[in-house]
Structure 1
C-alpha cells in the first residue's frame, strides 16, 4: 500500500451516486484516512461543514468554489469573491423575468455568502451576459450554474488550506468530476477524474477511472487503502 497523501475531494458526482446521495461506503474511508481530508464543493458553506461533522472528521472545507475556506486544524476562516456583484446579477436576472430555479425558499442560496447558484434548467445566455457586466464568470458544475469571481476557485482554496497546514498543494491527491475541480487537479501532485466527469475535468486530470461516481472515487483511492 502506498503512503497516504492528504486528500482534496469533491462531493456531488464524486462521493455520491447519480441520485446525489452520498454513498455510505465512503464514510469509513474518509473517517479513517491517515492524512488531512479537504472537502471541496460548490455548495454553500454549511453543507460541507455538516458532512464533516456527521462523518466525525476534522472540519477542513473549501466551499462555494473557493469563496469560503475553513481549516479546523488552525481555526482559520477565509472569505473571498464578490458577493455584492453576485447579488446584483441575481437581482438583474429576476428583473429580466427569469428565476433562479430553486423555489421560494431557495436552499441553494439561502446560506451562500460569496457567489450565486442558478439551476441548470434556467436560461444560461442572459446569465452569462449579466456576469460579464459585473466582472464575474459562470461555471457549470453539472449540478448548477455558479456565478462567481474569476480569481476565486477550488484551486485558490486548496492553496489556502495547504498554507494553513504547512503543506505543498503538490502533496495532495485530488478527486473530482467537474470543471470546477480542474483548478485543484492542476495544483495537486496526483489528480483523478471519475469517469462521469465532464471533458474539462478529464483533460486536467492525471488519470480517469474506469467506473463512475462513488465507485470511481473508491477506485481512485484504491492504492492507498487495504
Structure 2
C-alpha cells in the first residue's frame, strides 16, 4: 500500500507560468488529512519551500535544491549532501567562458542556497555540459525547464527520497513520486511507483511507470485519484 507521495512543484502542480493548480492543492490536503505524508520536492530554496508547505498545508518535509538539501518536517535537521563550494567554482568557469561570448550568466537566489547553484536559462545547457567536461569539473548540469542548476555527484531528488524514506520509517516502495522534468528522473526511478505528467519530455516519461492523460496540475490530480484510490487512502 502506498503510504507517502513525493511530488515535484514547478510544472507538476503548477502550469508553465508557475501558477499553482488549486485542485492540486485540494488534492494534497485531502491526502494529508487522510494520513498520507506528502513531500514537496523542487529545485527551489528551503525558504521558498517552507512558505509553500505552509500555504499548501503539508508538515514541512521537503526535498530542495534538486536533492542538495532535504528535511523531515519543519523541526527536523536540514541535511545537506550537496557541495555549494564546488558548484560555485564550476559556475565561475562557465561564467568566464560565456562572458567571452558576450553572454552574462545570472545567478538565482545564491545567498539562500546551501548546496547547488542555479542560474537563468539564457544559454544552451548542452554547451555548458561540454565546458564542464572539457575542464573535468566534478559537477553535473541540470536543466529543469525553469533554471539551469549545477550539482555535485550523487546528489539527486532520488537519493534524497531514499534517505527521507529511512527517516520516515518507510520503504521507497511505499512511496509514489510525480514529476515532469529531467531533475525528476532519479526520483521516479527510486520510488515504488513513478508517474510523469503529460507535459514531461520523452526521457522523463520513459523513466515513469505511468504517464497521465492530463498535463501539469490536472495530471497530478489524475494520478493521485487513480492510484491512491486503488491502494485505499487511510
Q: Secondary structure at the match of 2:22?
A: coil
TM-score, normalized by length of structure 1? 0.89
Match of 2:61 in 1: 60
Distance 1:46 1:130, change over 3 A: farther
Q: Deviations over 1:127-176 (max 9, x none)?
A: 32443332111111122221101211001110111010110011001111
Shift in CA distance, 44/28, structure 1 to aligned 2, threshold 3 Å? same
CA distance in 2, matches of 1:116, 1:62: 15
How much does 1:25 deviate?
1.5
User: Is the 8 Å Cα contact of residues 178 and 195 (structure 2) preserved in structure 1?
Assistant: yes
Secondary structure of 1:114's counterpart equals coil
Aligned in 2, Cα 1:62/1:119: closer, same or farther, shift over 3 Å? same
Structure 1 residue runs of 5 or longer lacking an equivalent are: none
Distance 1:21 1:165 in 2: 30
Q: How does 1:24-39 map to 2 (within 5 A)?
A: 24-33=22-31, 34-39=35-40
| Larger CA deviation: 202-211 vs 41-50 | 41-50
Match of 1:100 in 2: 105
Shift of 1:4: 5.4
Match for residue 12 of structure 2? 14
Q: Which runs of 5+ in 2 are unaligned?
A: none
**Kept in 2: contact 1:73–1:165 (CA 8 A):** no
**TM-score, normalised by the number of residues in structure 2:** 0.87
Aligned to 2:76: 75
The structure that is helix-richer by fraction is: 2
Task: State the distance in 2 between where 1:128 and 1:29 align.
Answer: 38
Partner of 2:112: 111
Residue 140 of structure 1 pairs with residue 143 of structure 2: yes
Aligned to 2:189: 186
- Number of residue equivalences: 220
Kindly indicate whether the alpha-carbon contact (under 8 Å) linking 1:39 and 1:61 is maintained by their aligned counterparts in 2. yes
Shift of 1:199: 1.7
Contact 2:24 2:218 in 1 (8 A): no
Q: Deviations over 1:10-39 (max 9, x none)?
A: 001100012111111222221231311111
